[in-house]
């Protein structure tokens, strides 16, 4: 998480920023469950509350993590650069 936060300001492509932002949001959501749920700090569990037929339980944070990783895989496959180089005319 610290590495992602450190790297985010260097990203200039909007789709990469969306991917890293969604990943950060998902991580923070699951971390908040771990930190603040009963029985105490760092003793809580992530609550998976979305149940679909013939599918594992999940939550919104899990969905953001999976969707952001899928987006990043797609962007890598398409060789979309994380940083766009702007060349100014002299």
Which positions are catalytic?
48, 62
Cα–Cα distance, 19 to 78 (Å, whole number): 14
Cα–Cα distance, 15 to 48 (Å, whole number): 28
Cα–Cα distance, 49 to 9 (Å, whole number): 33
């Amino acid at each position: 998480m610290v590495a992602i936060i450190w790297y985010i300001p260097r990203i200039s492509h909007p789709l990469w920023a969306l991917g890293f932002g969604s990943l950060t949001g998902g991580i923070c959501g699951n971390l908040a469950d771990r930190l603040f749920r009963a029985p105490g700090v760092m003793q809580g569990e992530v609550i998976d509350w979305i149940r679909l037929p013939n599918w594992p339980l999940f939550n919104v944070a899990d969905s953001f993590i999976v969707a952001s990783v899928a987006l990043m895989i797609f962007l890598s496959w398409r060789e979309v650069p994380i940083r766009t180089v702007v060349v100014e005319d002299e």
